[in-house]
Structure 1
């Protein structure tokens, strides 16, 4: 067993975990699973604060009592989360969690009756200790390991595989440590926590870093610094000008329906593509007398022709069915390829709309 964690390790771990917890409550609290994670992190933060307040948790003082009750509640949340992760009905999460919380608090308060943590070890206190702390952690570890093994073959993302692997290792450690502690408690008597160990701190830090991954993603989405946000900003000028020229292609979702960045990006791609297809009817012919095609022209030249098509439509030019019948430049492209093409076009768009001859016409 590792020794007591030094203060220089405990304080940064607590500060980091507290910041992650606060950030998750603000930015990552949309699902039942998010709520359970945030509850577990909150109760755990109180436990760590109690350990910082009084490192001798074996004494029957106020910090050790807070540590005991909040630790039981944190484990109840962890088990509820593992159960949900393992496929339990999400509609009944809160009802089940109320029951788990009630059992956790009842057991912890029972251990604090009489002489509390200073009371001598008895068979019922040992049994209650194991039932409140060790068995829920071992069961949560088993269910999490089972869920990871089931989900890992289905995921294609490298980041998700790494996250599942890290969670699998952590859950395995939880299960093994809980079973070892349970066996020790049974054979040696009640083993209340007497210190916050180096191992406990490091595992706690590792779990905090895992739970910070969704927070980093949510922060990127909220600030627009993620990949989707950057693509939205790049595509915005082209999309705005083309949908202004061809307003009939704009999708009209119900209020609040399209708010997620991925949904907005998908909508912008579809609307921009449809506007380009419509504007091909107004596209000027090249020197050979044929309509310009993005496959035959450079992106910059094609952007200039689109700009001229916008002007022609605005001036009331008659559309040409012959030009509209030209080969679809998006044929055979998936959404990623289409998005890449439109992003290239969007980068060339500012130069096309600032073309001197076009500016003079305006």
Structure 2
């Protein structure tokens, strides 16, 4: 009894789903929705492993029925997550989740009872158009249709809300597409029961292929917040990259003007760290403005990043050597003046940080 999906396609999907599930269990389990989604992904990954019956062909019939049972347990968890997502009362949702889990466990027992003759014969439940297949199809597809309807309603509501980020739009669009992927197995079962499709399918690929496609889409969606969390913790997200690029400039400026450094208390989140660095760099620039060279005041137009970086180094050297600050009124200039747009401030300071780092690099001497 062979597996329904080639190992070349099945193994990467299984490994990906298992890796995402383990990562989410370790790092993303703070909310009830996250925990339910983690359970969903874990049960669906197990169902794919059990569908790959090649590692124990002698027990292929049992593994196939257990795979169906794992799918039912995944449906119960997904339905609970969708209900909470739809705005259900948390206390009521928690109580109902116990009923969903009990119903899923009962359906697993029913599948095993109905599938007893098939296990004894060593065949797969669903290979023929028997009443047993009809009952099992109803037990599986009625909850799936309920979940798909709820997911559709919530996804459409969020997409019509207007205040949706690009990532959220991608997630909601993928959620709306998932029921169509999963529904391929239902359509094939209906066509088989009504006599419109009599193709030979001994390995039940018509059920397995949509399962693999659905689980891959689900794992890909749930991997995005995990990847964002990992990139933030390792400093490779957008905020972390900005902090790393600003750090040499921030370190030199705060060393020159240590009195502007804000007091630190405990660990600072990346977004707060970037905002704090931006404020401290601007404050340092305002303080060093009085030590800029005299020709700075006679320049026409805003200075370039490279020229301002050179002048800023002269200002730091003048302050360090005890030079007297200018008493004339000074203008904040392009880099020191805050604006109402924090992103514009960060872009300007990143340009200055790039020029600052380039000025520190020794120039190659021509031979």
**TM-score, L = length of structure 2:** 0.75
Q: Does 1:244 align with 2:252?
A: no
Question: Equivalents in 2 of 1:236, 1:304: separation in Å?
Answer: 18
Say which is worse superposed, 72-81 or 303-312, in terms of deviation: 303-312
User: 1:165 is matched with which residue?
Assistant: 173
* Residues 70/311 of structure 1: CA separation in 2 closer, same or farther (3 Å cut): same
**TM-score, L = length of structure 1:** 0.76
Gaps of at least 5 residues in structure 1 are 357-362
Report the count of equivalent residues.
Answer: 341
248, 253, 275: which one aligns with 1:266: 275
TM-aligned CA deviation for residue 269 of structure 1: 1.7
Say which is worse superposed, 210-219 or 337-346, in terms of deviation: 210-219
User: 1:299 is matched with which residue?
Assistant: 305
Say which is worse superposed, 314-323 or 69-78, in terms of deviation: 314-323
Q: Within 5 Å, which residues of 2 pair with 1:91-130?
A: 96-113=96-113, 116=116, 118=118, 130=138
Q: CA RMSD in A?
A: 4.0
Q: Does 1:139 align with 2:146?
A: yes
User: 2:224 is matched with which residue?
Assistant: 213
* Residues 115/302 of structure 1: CA separation in 2 closer, same or farther (3 Å cut): closer
TM-aligned CA deviation for residue 253 of structure 1: 5.3
Q: Does 1:152 align with 2:159?
A: yes
* Residues 203/351 of structure 1: CA separation in 2 closer, same or farther (3 Å cut): closer
User: 2:354 is matched with which residue?
Assistant: 347
Question: Equivalents in 1 of 2:192, 2:80: separation in Å?
Answer: 24
TM-aligned CA deviation for residue 338 of structure 1: 1.0
Question: Equivalents in 1 of 2:256, 2:93: separation in Å?
Answer: 50
TM-aligned CA deviation for residue 333 of structure 1: 5.2
Q: Any conservation in 1 of the 2:48–2:211 contact (CA below 8 Å)? A: no
SS in structure 2 of the partner of residue 286 of structure 1: helix
The CA deviation string for residues 38-97 of structure 1, in whole angstroms up to 9 with x for no partner, is 21111111111111136999x895424532432222111111221222223457765553
* Residues 243/96 of structure 1: CA separation in 2 closer, same or farther (3 Å cut): farther
Question: Equivalents in 2 of 1:89, 1:253: separation in Å?
Answer: 40
Question: Equivalents in 2 of 1:111, 1:280: separation in Å?
Answer: 78
